[in-house]
């Protein structure tokens, strides 16, 4: 079974631009979570989607948004990019069945904002 895939793997943007990142979960997984990883702040939770609905959101400004499609694929968007948005963005998927909520991560998208 294929793992979580993320595209693109690398991105370079300039301040003020916007960016869209894509995540395809493991087949059959219905929950997708997004995280930001930076050297200073570590791994921080952005949001989680299940059945096209955002069910949880971390403490990030409204410039960070996301959505999930009917096939469980998810996208996240960052508008009006700032230098501090440079990070590795990771998505993770899980089955959301029973109490076993193990999340499986993709390779990440590395975003550099200049």
Partner 1 sequence: GDSVTQMEGPVTLSEEAFLTINCTYTATGYPSLFWYVQYPGEGLQLLLKATKADDKGSNKGFEATYRKETTSFHLEKGSVQVSDSAVYFCALTHNAGGTSYGKLTFGQGTILTVHP
108 binds partner 1 (CB under 8 A): yes
Under 8 Å between Cβ of 2 and 93: no
Q: Which of 32, 5, 10 is nearest to 107 (CA)?
A: 5
Dump strand ranges (E) for 9-59: 10-13, 19-24, 31-38, 42-50, 53-57
Of 12-20, 45-53, 62-70, 74-82, the segment contacting partner 1 by CB under 8 A is 45-53
Candidate list 21, 76, 90, 111; residue touching partner 1; CB under 8 A: 90
Under the criterion CB under 8 A, does residue 58 sit at the interface with partner 1? yes
**18 or 52, CB closer to partner 1?**
52
The answer to whether residue 104 forms part of the interface with partner 1 (CB under 8 A) is: yes
């Amino acid at each position: 079974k294929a793992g979580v895939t993320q595209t693109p793997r690398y991105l370079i943007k300039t301040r003020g631009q916007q960016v869209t990142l894509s995540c395809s979960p493991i087949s059959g997984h219905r929950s997708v979570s997004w995280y930001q990883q930076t050297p200073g702040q570590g791994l921080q939770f952005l949001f989680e989607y299940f059945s096209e609905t955002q069910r949880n959101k971390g403490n990030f400004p409204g410039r960070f948004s996301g959505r999930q499609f009917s096939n469980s694929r998810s996208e996240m968007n960052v508008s009006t990019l700032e230098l501090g948005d440079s990070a590795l963005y990771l998505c993770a998927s899980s089955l959301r069945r029973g109490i076993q909520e193990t999340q499986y991560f993709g390779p990440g998208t590395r975003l550099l904002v200049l």
